[in-house]
Amino acid sequence: MRKQKRNRTGFSHKPRREQPADALVEVTIERILPGGAGLAHADGRTLLVELAAPGDRAFVRIKRVQGRVAFASIAEIISPSPVRVTPLCPYFGLCGGCDFQQLSYEAQLAAKVEIIRDCLRRIAQIEFTGEIPITASPNIWQYRSRAQWQHDPQKKHLGYFERASHRVCDVAACPVLVPSLQETLESLRGQMNESLLPEEATEIQAVAGADGASLAPPVPGHPTREVSRRIGKHHYRFSAEGFFQINHELLEPLIAAAVSDARGETAIDLYCGVGLFTLPLAHRFTRVLGVEANAAAISYARRNLEGALLDNAVFEINRVGDWLAENSERLAPVDFVLLDPPRAGAEDGAIEGILALQPRHISYVSCDPATLARDLKILAARGYRLDSIAAFDMFPQTHHVETVAHLKTE
Protein backbone atom coordinates (compact mmCIF):
# COMPACT_ATOMS: atom_id res chain seq x y z
CA MET A 1 0.00 0.00 0.00
CA ARG A 2 1.41 3.37 -1.10
CA LYS A 3 2.02 5.77 1.77
CA GLN A 4 0.83 9.38 1.59
CA LYS A 5 3.48 12.03 2.01
CA ARG A 6 3.21 13.98 5.23
CA ASN A 7 4.08 17.60 5.82
CA ARG A 8 6.03 19.02 8.75
CA THR A 9 2.96 19.01 11.00
CA GLY A 10 2.51 15.27 10.48
CA PHE A 11 -0.75 15.60 8.50
CA SER A 12 -1.02 14.20 5.04
CA HIS A 13 -1.20 16.56 2.07
CA LYS A 14 -4.46 16.67 0.18
CA PRO A 15 -3.89 17.39 -3.47
CA ARG A 16 -5.24 20.84 -4.44
CA ARG A 17 -8.33 20.52 -6.59
CA GLU A 18 -7.65 22.05 -9.98
CA GLN A 19 -10.47 24.17 -11.36
CA PRO A 20 -10.72 23.72 -15.11
CA ALA A 21 -11.34 26.65 -17.41
CA ASP A 22 -15.07 27.44 -17.63
CA ALA A 23 -15.67 26.16 -14.07
CA LEU A 24 -18.03 28.08 -11.78
CA VAL A 25 -16.69 29.20 -8.39
CA GLU A 26 -18.38 31.12 -5.59
CA VAL A 27 -16.33 34.10 -4.41
CA THR A 28 -16.51 37.43 -2.59
CA ILE A 29 -14.76 40.36 -4.26
CA GLU A 30 -12.29 41.86 -1.82
CA ARG A 31 -11.08 44.97 -3.63
CA ILE A 32 -10.25 46.45 -7.03
CA LEU A 33 -6.72 45.93 -8.33
CA PRO A 34 -4.57 47.99 -10.72
CA GLY A 35 -5.91 47.18 -14.16
CA GLY A 36 -9.48 47.32 -12.89
CA ALA A 37 -10.13 43.65 -12.01
CA GLY A 38 -11.71 42.55 -8.75
CA LEU A 39 -9.60 40.43 -6.39
CA ALA A 40 -10.99 37.20 -4.92
CA HIS A 41 -9.60 33.95 -3.52
CA ALA A 42 -10.94 30.39 -3.79
CA ASP A 43 -9.47 26.88 -3.57
CA GLY A 44 -5.99 28.22 -2.85
CA ARG A 45 -6.01 30.32 -5.99
CA THR A 46 -6.09 34.05 -6.66
CA LEU A 47 -8.90 35.10 -8.96
CA LEU A 48 -9.00 38.29 -11.04
CA VAL A 49 -12.64 38.99 -11.85
CA GLU A 50 -13.55 41.49 -14.55
CA LEU A 51 -16.32 44.09 -14.13
CA ALA A 52 -16.66 43.35 -10.41
CA ALA A 53 -17.49 45.58 -7.45
CA PRO A 54 -15.85 45.27 -4.01
CA GLY A 55 -18.24 43.34 -1.77
CA ASP A 56 -19.97 41.42 -4.57
CA ARG A 57 -20.73 37.79 -3.69
CA ALA A 58 -21.02 35.94 -6.96
CA PHE A 59 -20.55 32.81 -8.99
CA VAL A 60 -17.70 33.50 -11.40
CA ARG A 61 -16.69 31.55 -14.48
CA ILE A 62 -12.99 30.78 -14.85
CA LYS A 63 -11.86 31.72 -18.34
CA ARG A 64 -8.14 31.17 -18.14
CA VAL A 65 -5.66 29.76 -15.62
CA GLN A 66 -2.05 30.85 -15.31
CA GLY A 67 -0.23 29.12 -12.48
CA ARG A 68 -2.00 29.99 -9.22
CA VAL A 69 -3.89 32.89 -10.83
CA ALA A 70 -7.22 32.47 -12.59
CA PHE A 71 -8.95 35.06 -14.77
CA ALA A 72 -12.71 35.04 -14.43
CA SER A 73 -15.97 36.81 -15.28
CA ILE A 74 -19.18 37.08 -13.27
CA ALA A 75 -21.76 34.45 -14.19
CA GLU A 76 -24.31 35.26 -11.49
CA ILE A 77 -24.42 37.79 -8.65
CA ILE A 78 -25.62 36.15 -5.43
CA SER A 79 -25.66 39.40 -3.45
CA PRO A 80 -24.52 42.68 -4.99
CA SER A 81 -22.03 45.07 -3.46
CA PRO A 82 -23.56 48.16 -1.82
CA VAL A 83 -21.53 50.26 -4.30
CA ARG A 84 -22.77 48.37 -7.37
CA VAL A 85 -25.01 50.37 -9.73
CA THR A 86 -26.76 49.60 -13.01
CA PRO A 87 -24.48 50.52 -15.96
CA LEU A 88 -25.89 53.27 -18.16
CA CYS A 89 -24.45 52.07 -21.47
CA PRO A 90 -26.20 49.20 -23.32
CA TYR A 91 -22.81 48.04 -24.66
CA PHE A 92 -21.26 47.69 -21.20
CA GLY A 93 -19.54 44.33 -20.83
CA LEU A 94 -19.15 43.84 -24.57
CA CYS A 95 -17.39 47.09 -25.49
CA GLY A 96 -13.81 47.27 -24.26
CA GLY A 97 -14.00 50.97 -23.42
CA CYS A 98 -15.52 51.47 -19.96
CA ASP A 99 -14.94 48.99 -17.14
CA PHE A 100 -16.14 50.93 -14.06
CA GLN A 101 -19.77 51.67 -14.96
CA GLN A 102 -20.85 49.03 -12.42
CA LEU A 103 -19.47 51.21 -9.59
CA SER A 104 -21.02 54.28 -8.00
CA TYR A 105 -18.96 57.36 -8.78
CA GLU A 106 -17.78 57.63 -5.16
CA ALA A 107 -16.59 54.01 -5.35
CA GLN A 108 -14.78 54.72 -8.62
CA LEU A 109 -12.83 57.55 -7.00
CA ALA A 110 -11.98 55.47 -3.92
CA ALA A 111 -10.80 52.55 -6.08
CA LYS A 112 -8.51 54.80 -8.10
CA VAL A 113 -6.82 56.21 -5.01
CA GLU A 114 -6.21 52.66 -3.74
CA ILE A 115 -4.86 51.62 -7.16
CA ILE A 116 -2.28 54.42 -6.95
CA ARG A 117 -1.34 53.52 -3.37
CA ASP A 118 -1.06 49.82 -4.29
CA CYS A 119 1.29 50.59 -7.20
CA LEU A 120 3.46 52.81 -5.02
CA ARG A 121 3.77 50.09 -2.39
CA ARG A 122 4.08 47.02 -4.61
CA ILE A 123 6.01 48.34 -7.64
CA ALA A 124 7.87 51.43 -6.43
CA GLN A 125 8.35 49.99 -2.92
CA ILE A 126 7.36 53.39 -1.54
CA GLU A 127 5.20 53.41 1.58
CA PHE A 128 3.51 56.76 1.04
CA THR A 129 1.48 57.45 4.17
CA GLY A 130 0.29 60.92 3.21
CA GLU A 131 -3.05 61.80 1.70
CA ILE A 132 -3.65 61.16 -2.00
CA PRO A 133 -6.35 63.70 -2.88
CA ILE A 134 -8.41 63.04 -5.99
CA THR A 135 -10.17 65.76 -7.99
CA ALA A 136 -13.49 64.54 -9.34
CA SER A 137 -14.54 65.19 -12.90
CA PRO A 138 -17.18 67.94 -13.24
CA ASN A 139 -18.90 65.69 -15.79
CA ILE A 140 -18.92 61.92 -15.38
CA TRP A 141 -20.72 61.47 -18.72
CA GLN A 142 -20.16 63.36 -21.99
CA TYR A 143 -16.66 64.36 -20.92
CA ARG A 144 -14.48 62.59 -23.48
CA SER A 145 -13.07 64.97 -26.11
CA ARG A 146 -10.85 62.39 -27.80
CA ALA A 147 -11.69 58.96 -29.17
CA GLN A 148 -10.22 56.19 -31.31
CA TRP A 149 -12.87 54.45 -33.40
CA GLN A 150 -12.47 51.10 -35.11
CA HIS A 151 -14.10 50.39 -38.47
CA ASP A 152 -14.87 46.93 -39.89
CA PRO A 153 -15.97 47.63 -43.51
CA GLN A 154 -16.98 44.00 -44.18
CA LYS A 155 -19.43 43.81 -41.27
CA LYS A 156 -20.25 47.53 -41.40
CA HIS A 157 -19.37 47.96 -37.74
CA LEU A 158 -18.03 51.20 -36.29
CA GLY A 159 -17.15 51.67 -32.63
CA TYR A 160 -14.56 50.26 -30.24
CA PHE A 161 -12.88 46.90 -29.86
CA GLU A 162 -14.78 44.34 -27.83
CA ARG A 163 -13.26 43.40 -24.49
CA ALA A 164 -10.04 41.40 -24.90
CA SER A 165 -10.43 41.06 -28.68
CA HIS A 166 -9.93 42.79 -32.00
CA ARG A 167 -13.56 42.38 -33.02
CA VAL A 168 -15.31 45.69 -33.51
CA CYS A 169 -18.24 46.39 -31.21
CA ASP A 170 -20.77 48.32 -33.30
CA VAL A 171 -21.65 51.40 -31.21
CA ALA A 172 -24.48 53.75 -32.17
CA ALA A 173 -24.19 56.00 -29.10
CA CYS A 174 -21.37 56.42 -26.57
CA PRO A 175 -22.44 58.15 -23.33
CA VAL A 176 -18.93 59.35 -22.41
CA LEU A 177 -18.38 61.31 -25.65
CA VAL A 178 -18.82 65.07 -25.71
CA PRO A 179 -21.83 66.00 -27.92
CA SER A 180 -19.75 67.12 -30.91
CA LEU A 181 -17.94 63.76 -31.07
CA GLN A 182 -21.24 61.88 -30.69
CA GLU A 183 -22.59 63.86 -33.65
CA THR A 184 -19.44 63.02 -35.62
CA LEU A 185 -19.82 59.32 -34.79
CA GLU A 186 -23.43 59.38 -36.01
CA SER A 187 -22.37 61.11 -39.23
CA LEU A 188 -19.64 58.52 -39.88
CA ARG A 189 -22.12 55.70 -39.23
CA GLY A 190 -24.45 57.21 -41.82
CA GLN A 191 -21.62 57.29 -44.34
CA MET A 192 -20.68 53.70 -43.49
CA ASN A 193 -24.23 52.46 -43.97
CA GLU A 194 -24.30 54.09 -47.40
CA SER A 195 -20.89 52.58 -48.26
CA LEU A 196 -19.31 56.07 -48.37
CA LEU A 197 -16.83 55.55 -45.54
CA PRO A 198 -13.48 54.53 -47.11
CA GLU A 199 -12.62 50.87 -46.46
CA GLU A 200 -9.00 51.77 -45.71
CA ALA A 201 -10.13 53.95 -42.78
CA THR A 202 -10.05 51.07 -40.30
CA GLU A 203 -8.92 53.22 -37.36
CA ILE A 204 -10.04 56.83 -36.94
CA GLN A 205 -8.64 59.30 -34.41
CA ALA A 206 -11.08 62.01 -33.39
CA VAL A 207 -10.66 65.07 -31.17
CA ALA A 208 -13.03 67.88 -30.31
CA GLY A 209 -12.35 71.50 -29.49
CA ALA A 210 -14.68 74.33 -28.68
CA ASP A 211 -15.20 74.81 -32.41
CA GLY A 212 -15.97 71.27 -33.62
CA ALA A 213 -14.14 68.04 -34.39
CA SER A 214 -11.00 66.97 -36.22
CA LEU A 215 -10.37 63.49 -37.65
CA ALA A 216 -7.25 61.63 -38.72
CA PRO A 217 -7.10 60.23 -41.27
CA PRO A 218 -9.55 62.62 -42.93
CA VAL A 219 -12.70 61.14 -44.41
CA PRO A 220 -15.19 62.82 -46.76
CA GLY A 221 -16.85 65.70 -44.95
CA HIS A 222 -14.57 65.33 -41.90
CA PRO A 223 -11.12 66.84 -42.47
CA THR A 224 -8.05 66.80 -40.28
CA ARG A 225 -8.50 70.41 -39.30
CA GLU A 226 -7.37 72.73 -36.59
CA VAL A 227 -9.59 73.01 -33.52
CA SER A 228 -9.00 75.01 -30.37
CA ARG A 229 -9.77 75.26 -26.69
CA ARG A 230 -9.19 77.98 -24.12
CA ILE A 231 -7.72 76.65 -20.88
CA GLY A 232 -7.33 79.33 -18.24
CA LYS A 233 -5.74 82.34 -19.88
CA HIS A 234 -4.20 80.43 -22.77
CA HIS A 235 -5.65 79.50 -26.14
CA TYR A 236 -4.52 76.11 -27.47
CA ARG A 237 -4.72 74.99 -31.10
CA PHE A 238 -4.47 71.28 -31.93
CA SER A 239 -5.78 68.55 -34.26
CA ALA A 240 -6.34 64.80 -34.38
CA GLU A 241 -2.77 64.34 -35.64
CA GLY A 242 -1.33 65.04 -32.18
CA PHE A 243 -2.16 64.39 -28.54
CA PHE A 244 -4.35 66.63 -26.43
CA GLN A 245 -5.85 65.67 -23.09
CA ILE A 246 -9.27 63.99 -23.03
CA ASN A 247 -11.15 65.75 -20.22
CA HIS A 248 -10.94 69.48 -20.86
CA GLU A 249 -12.96 70.46 -17.78
CA LEU A 250 -10.16 69.20 -15.52
CA LEU A 251 -7.23 70.80 -17.33
CA GLU A 252 -7.01 74.01 -15.29
CA PRO A 253 -6.59 72.19 -11.94
CA LEU A 254 -4.30 69.61 -13.59
CA ILE A 255 -2.00 72.34 -14.92
CA ALA A 256 -2.01 74.13 -11.57
CA ALA A 257 -1.05 70.92 -9.76
CA ALA A 258 1.67 69.98 -12.26
CA VAL A 259 3.34 73.39 -12.33
CA SER A 260 2.70 74.01 -8.62
CA ASP A 261 4.89 76.77 -7.17
CA ALA A 262 7.87 76.02 -9.42
CA ARG A 263 9.97 79.02 -10.48
CA GLY A 264 13.53 79.57 -11.59
CA GLU A 265 15.96 79.88 -14.45
CA THR A 266 15.42 76.78 -16.61
CA ALA A 267 12.50 74.36 -17.00
CA ILE A 268 12.28 71.42 -19.37
CA ASP A 269 8.91 70.08 -20.56
CA LEU A 270 9.27 66.52 -21.86
CA TYR A 271 6.56 64.95 -24.05
CA CYS A 272 5.26 68.51 -24.33
CA GLY A 273 2.67 67.92 -27.07
CA VAL A 274 1.10 71.21 -28.17
CA GLY A 275 2.52 73.05 -25.16
CA LEU A 276 -0.20 72.48 -22.56
CA PHE A 277 2.29 72.85 -19.69
CA THR A 278 4.97 74.79 -21.59
CA LEU A 279 2.97 78.01 -21.79
CA PRO A 280 2.28 78.24 -18.03
CA LEU A 281 5.92 77.35 -17.33
CA ALA A 282 7.07 80.20 -19.58
CA HIS A 283 5.47 82.66 -17.16
CA ARG A 284 7.53 81.28 -14.27
CA PHE A 285 10.96 80.48 -15.76
CA THR A 286 13.50 82.53 -17.66
CA ARG A 287 13.67 79.91 -20.37
CA VAL A 288 11.74 76.74 -21.14
CA LEU A 289 12.65 73.87 -23.47
CA GLY A 290 9.86 71.67 -24.84
CA VAL A 291 10.61 68.27 -26.40
CA GLU A 292 8.16 66.16 -28.42
CA ALA A 293 8.56 63.55 -31.18
CA ASN A 294 5.31 64.43 -32.99
CA ALA A 295 6.09 67.12 -35.61
CA ALA A 296 2.44 68.14 -36.02
CA ALA A 297 2.12 68.73 -32.26
CA ILE A 298 5.29 70.86 -32.22
CA SER A 299 3.94 72.96 -35.08
CA TYR A 300 0.89 73.76 -32.96
CA ALA A 301 3.05 74.31 -29.86
CA ARG A 302 5.02 77.01 -31.65
CA ARG A 303 1.84 78.71 -32.81
CA ASN A 304 0.34 78.47 -29.32
CA LEU A 305 3.45 80.08 -27.86
CA GLU A 306 3.29 82.90 -30.41
CA GLY A 307 -0.42 83.41 -29.73
CA ALA A 308 0.35 83.75 -26.01
CA LEU A 309 2.90 86.52 -26.82
CA LEU A 310 5.68 84.51 -25.19
CA ASP A 311 9.18 84.29 -26.62
CA ASN A 312 11.19 82.54 -23.90
CA ALA A 313 10.42 78.92 -24.88
CA VAL A 314 11.98 76.74 -27.56
CA PHE A 315 10.51 73.52 -28.96
CA GLU A 316 12.47 70.64 -30.42
CA ILE A 317 11.21 67.66 -32.45
CA ASN A 318 12.90 64.53 -31.15
CA ARG A 319 12.37 61.36 -29.19
CA VAL A 320 12.71 62.29 -25.55
CA GLY A 321 15.27 59.58 -24.78
CA ASP A 322 17.45 60.60 -27.74
CA TRP A 323 17.20 64.31 -26.92
CA LEU A 324 18.19 63.71 -23.31
CA ALA A 325 21.15 61.55 -24.34
CA GLU A 326 22.41 64.38 -26.55
CA ASN A 327 21.72 67.34 -24.25
CA SER A 328 21.53 66.38 -20.55
CA GLU A 329 25.17 66.88 -19.62
CA ARG A 330 25.34 70.19 -21.51
CA LEU A 331 22.26 71.62 -19.78
CA ALA A 332 22.78 70.30 -16.23
CA PRO A 333 21.90 71.33 -13.65
CA VAL A 334 18.36 72.58 -14.28
CA ASP A 335 15.73 73.84 -11.87
CA PHE A 336 12.64 71.92 -12.99
CA VAL A 337 11.69 68.99 -15.22
CA LEU A 338 8.10 68.17 -16.10
CA LEU A 339 7.28 65.00 -18.00
CA ASP A 340 3.92 63.81 -19.30
CA PRO A 341 4.67 60.53 -21.11
CA PRO A 342 2.16 58.20 -22.79
CA ARG A 343 0.64 55.26 -20.92
CA ALA A 344 3.79 53.17 -21.42
CA GLY A 345 5.70 55.62 -19.22
CA ALA A 346 9.08 57.18 -19.90
CA GLU A 347 10.85 55.51 -22.81
CA ASP A 348 14.14 53.63 -22.53
CA GLY A 349 16.92 55.91 -21.37
CA ALA A 350 14.61 58.80 -20.45
CA ILE A 351 14.82 58.42 -16.67
CA GLU A 352 18.61 58.16 -16.81
CA GLY A 353 18.64 61.25 -19.00
CA ILE A 354 16.48 63.15 -16.51
CA LEU A 355 18.82 62.14 -13.69
CA ALA A 356 21.75 63.46 -15.75
CA LEU A 357 20.00 66.87 -15.88
CA GLN A 358 20.29 67.00 -12.05
CA PRO A 359 16.94 68.78 -11.61
CA ARG A 360 16.10 70.12 -8.16
CA HIS A 361 12.42 69.43 -8.74
CA ILE A 362 10.62 66.87 -10.96
CA SER A 363 6.91 66.90 -11.79
CA TYR A 364 5.71 63.60 -13.28
CA VAL A 365 2.26 63.63 -14.91
CA SER A 366 1.07 60.09 -15.59
CA CYS A 367 -2.02 58.32 -16.90
CA ASP A 368 -0.87 54.89 -15.65
CA PRO A 369 -0.05 54.33 -11.95
CA ALA A 370 1.91 51.16 -12.72
CA THR A 371 4.39 52.73 -15.15
CA LEU A 372 4.58 55.81 -12.92
CA ALA A 373 5.56 53.57 -9.98
CA ARG A 374 8.12 51.76 -12.14
CA ASP A 375 9.85 55.05 -12.93
CA LEU A 376 9.49 56.46 -9.40
CA LYS A 377 11.34 53.44 -8.05
CA ILE A 378 14.41 54.40 -10.09
CA LEU A 379 14.20 58.06 -9.13
CA ALA A 380 13.78 57.21 -5.43
CA ALA A 381 16.83 54.94 -5.55
CA ARG A 382 18.85 57.86 -6.91
CA GLY A 383 18.09 60.35 -4.17
CA TYR A 384 14.68 61.81 -5.01
CA ARG A 385 11.88 61.71 -2.46
CA LEU A 386 8.20 61.69 -3.26
CA ASP A 387 7.11 65.09 -1.95
CA SER A 388 3.42 64.92 -2.93
CA ILE A 389 1.04 62.99 -5.14
CA ALA A 390 -2.45 63.87 -6.33
CA ALA A 391 -4.99 62.23 -8.60
CA PHE A 392 -7.37 63.65 -11.21
CA ASP A 393 -10.30 61.67 -12.54
CA MET A 394 -9.72 62.41 -16.21
CA PHE A 395 -11.40 59.13 -17.22
CA PRO A 396 -14.71 58.53 -15.37
CA GLN A 397 -16.34 55.09 -15.87
CA THR A 398 -12.90 53.50 -16.44
CA HIS A 399 -10.13 52.32 -14.13
CA HIS A 400 -7.69 54.83 -15.63
CA VAL A 401 -6.58 57.82 -13.55
CA GLU A 402 -4.28 60.80 -14.08
CA THR A 403 -1.65 61.31 -11.39
CA VAL A 404 0.72 64.19 -10.63
CA ALA A 405 3.77 63.29 -8.53
CA HIS A 406 6.32 65.86 -7.31
CA LEU A 407 9.81 64.72 -6.45
CA LYS A 408 12.61 66.70 -4.88
CA THR A 409 16.19 65.94 -3.99
CA GLU A 410 16.90 64.72 -0.49
Residues with catalytic function: 367
Residue 86: CB partners within 8 Å, gap ≥ 6? Answer: none
Element (H, E) at 257: helix 251-259
Give dist(CA 238, CA 274) in Å, integer: 7
How far lies 222's CA from each of 44, 181, 183, 185, 187, in Å?
A: 55, 11, 12, 11, 9
Give dist(CA 101, CA 160) in Å, integer: 16
DSSP class of residue 36 equals S
CB-neighbour burial class of residue 257 (10 A; exposed 0-12, middle 13-18, buried 19+): buried
| Amino acid symbol at 64 | R
Residue 273: CB partners within 8 Å, gap ≥ 6? Answer: 238, 242, 243, 244, 292, 294, 297, 301, 340
Backbone angles phi, psi at 404, to 5 degrees: -120, 120
Residue 100: CB partners within 8 Å, gap ≥ 6? Answer: 36, 108, 111, 396, 397, 398, 399
Backbone angles phi, psi at 167, to 5 degrees: -85, 140
Q: Which of 104, 105, 131, 103 is nearest to 116 (CA)?
A: 131
β-bridge pairing 203-209 and 212-216:
antiparallel
What distance lies between CA 409 and its chain's CA centroid? 27
Q: State whether the Cα torsion 168-171-174-180 is positive or negative.
A: positive
Give dist(CA 177, CA 147) in Å, integer: 8
